[in-house]
Structure 1
Amino acid sequence: MCDIPEAANPDDDRHADVEAVTRFREDHGLTHIVDVHTHFMPKRVMDKVWAYFDSAGPLTGTVWPIQYRHDEDVRLDRLRSYGVHAFTSMIYPHKPDMAAWLNQWAVEFAARNPDCLHTSTFYPETSAPGYVAEALAAGTRVFKSHIQVGDYDPGDPLLDAVWGQIQDAGVPVVIHCGSGPAPGRFTGPDRIESLMARFPRLPLIIAHMGMPEYSAFLDLADRYESVLLDTTMAFTDFIGEMAPADPADSQRLRNLGDRILFGSDFPNIPYPYVHALDAVARLGLGDEWVRGVCHGNATRVFGL
């Protein structure tokens, strides 16, 4: 495996980085950006996530340098300097008895950072309905479910009451359920299709456009109006080499334009932030479509 480069000094590239995003916004008529897929976590959890990517993570033998491996306050400042006026703190457990603790951390993080959409999570365990109810009562705006890392079946009976509460509340769930960049035992569109058949009003945001099963997840969005997708890492050069999108889906992306939301995976991306934005724009679907994806759609979904 290749050596992982040291994190850059955040001041070294800040000006050019911010200038590039500002130029993107100006070019496409965007005053602000809403990023529905950003990661803020307790430090010891984030450190473990970074160690995972440093060891090649889901891409065995492939270097995945963390572009924004900075302290939390630096990362917050960088996002805001891009004109991002709402973002998330995507948290997710990989074992039982972890989700409630993460949720409590997220309550405090959102209180300190009101531009963060209060984020919560869950895991298939007997306590899940209770702490999900508490999260909803506390005003959570979005949930995160990571099927691959959590290694759980979204159809697990222990989650039935959780999905029911979330469907009734209408709070979106950003769900990593596609089989990329690495498959899990329970990833793929079939299990999500079964879940939606049981909870047809469930507001799911399919992370990463469902890569690499893009077309199958677009099919799901065609059938269920409550299904949305986020652009996280999709269409970028980094992912395009491993999980390219089908050009034949271009018209479908246009037709579903009001249900596609911009996500970046900041800070855990191996390229500059602006590349995630450029990857959306170079689909060639027009400035109005880009403005909806990067701001308008999320503004509507989250009532910003």
Structure 2
Amino acid sequence: MSALPGPGTLQGQGGPGRPGAEAAEVRAFWQGLGLPGLIDVHTHFMPQNVLDKVWAYFDAAGPLVDRPWPITYRQAEDERVDWLREFGVRAFTAMLYPHKPGMAAWLNAWAADFAARTPDCLHTATFFPEPQAPDYVARALADGARVFKAHLQVGGYDPADRLLDEVWGLLADTGTPVVTHCGSGPVPGKHTGPGPIGEVLARHPRLTLVVAHLGLPEYTDFLDLAERHPRVHLDTTMAFTDFVERDTPFPSAELPRLGRLQGRILLGSDFPNIPYRYIHQLDALAGLGLGEEWLRAVCHDNAARLFALPADN
């Protein structure tokens, strides 16, 4: 496993410099598995003024973060895209999310433009419980959105709100994946945990839900949810890293179940908003001992199938 840098060694306006040395490590990882690259379903790109506020919140260790959280890849947008390309990430997302009404449609317009000028980005969109949501979600789908983001912790809303019922129905009917922060980590929210999102799945059992962060810290509950619902996936974002294992370790007794769900586990990283190097997430997954077939499925093949990506970009 790659050693983590000492405190503060990566933080700052310039981040960790150029990707050369780390890119070689990341490429060696996926090349050693015989893969054409990585597919990362949980990366963040958003309007710079919004991202600046997100970074300021992390810098201040706000109440939804609850601990120091240095941003490793604090570069300009084009540089961050270059980092992922140098790493060999074939496809990635632009996870963005509103925290109040009247924000989602504007974010979706920005995301559509970003996807148009960034062909390796999976066109991402979002929503909020408000009367206009079905209309702008339908418009985003018509414009080519391929994945949605729902952040129940930051948004502070109940996913089972009736204002979202038509939205979930649209996404279920079109088979569009929704990456959802519904676990209660780093700190619980009013509508986090398996109960509220479970109510949505009871109404819309065909929904393609991707549980972010493996649902930490309710790992067992979300594995249960995935076993009950064949269209529920889980992403690995930050799971098993030293940063997360310190406070919310994954229960080792559940590793066999994680192995059995091999076809529905997806690589996620939270790039650029991570307090360690990108390679550490990959090393952490390799350290689970679930085998190369599992790693190939998680790091590339499952997402390639889910998003019907061609063999080569």
Q: Same fold (TM over 0.5)?
A: yes
Shift of 1:25: 1.7
* Counterpart in the other structure of 2:177: 172
Indicate yes or no: 2:27 matched with 1:29.
no
* CA shift in 2, pair 1:4/1:124, >3 Å: farther
Shift of 1:16: 1.7
Shift of 1:13: 5.1
Indicate yes or no: 2:223 matched with 1:218.
yes
> TM-score under structure 2 normalisation?
0.94
- Give the Cα separation in 1 of the matches to 2:258 and 2:16: 37
* Superposition CA RMSD, Å: 1.5
- Aligned partner letter, 1:59: V
* Counterpart in the other structure of 1:188: 193
- Give the Cα separation in 2 of the matches to 1:22 and 1:196: 37
Shift of 1:9: 3.2
* Counterpart in the other structure of 2:94: 89
Secondary structure of 2:12's match?
coil
Indicate yes or no: 2:35 matched with 1:39.
no
- Aligned partner letter, 1:281: A
Secondary structure of 2:32's match?
helix
- Give the Cα separation in 2 of the matches to 1:111 and 1:26: 29
* Counterpart in the other structure of 2:61: 56
Are the aligned partners of 2:16 and 2:73 in contact in 1 as well (CA < 8 Å)? no
Q: Which of 285, 289, 301 in structure 2 is aligned with 1:284?
A: 289
Residues 177-256 of structure 1 mapped to structure 2, 5 A cutoff? 177-256=182-261
- Aligned partner letter, 1:294: C
Are the aligned partners of 1:7 and 1:70 in contact in 2 as well (CA < 8 Å)? no
Cα displacement string for residues 115-157 of structure 1 (whole angstroms, at most 9, x for unaligned residues): 1000000000000000001011111100000000000000001
Indicate yes or no: 2:104 matched with 1:99.
yes
- Aligned partner letter, 2:220: S
Shift of 1:22: 1.5
* CA shift in 2, pair 1:255/1:69, >3 Å: same
Q: Structure 2: any 5+ residue segments left out of the alignment? A: 1-6
Are the aligned partners of 2:27 and 2:37 in contact in 1 as well (CA < 8 Å)? no
Are the aligned partners of 2:42 and 2:237 in contact in 1 as well (CA < 8 Å)? yes
The percent of aligned pairs where both chains have the same amino acid is 59
Are the aligned partners of 1:236 and 1:275 in contact in 2 as well (CA < 8 Å)? yes
Shift of 1:3: 8.7
* Counterpart in the other structure of 2:12: 7
* Counterpart in the other structure of 1:76: 81
Shift of 1:193: 1.4
* Counterpart in the other structure of 1:272: 277
Q: Structure 1: any 5+ residue segments left out of the alignment? A: none
Are the aligned partners of 1:209 and 1:231 in contact in 2 as well (CA < 8 Å)? yes
Q: Which of 136, 141, 147 in structure 1 is aligned with 2:152?
A: 147
Secondary structure of 2:73's match?
coil
Secondary structure of 1:131's match?
helix
- Aligned partner letter, 2:53: K
Shift of 1:188: 0.3
Are the aligned partners of 2:73 and 2:274 in contact in 1 as well (CA < 8 Å)? yes
Are the aligned partners of 1:228 and 1:261 in contact in 2 as well (CA < 8 Å)? yes
Shift of 1:4: 10
- Aligned partner letter, 2:128: Y
- Aligned partner letter, 1:247: S
* Counterpart in the other structure of 1:126: 131
Are the aligned partners of 1:124 and 1:158 in contact in 2 as well (CA < 8 Å)? yes
- Give the Cα separation in 2 of the matches to 1:35 and 1:46: 19
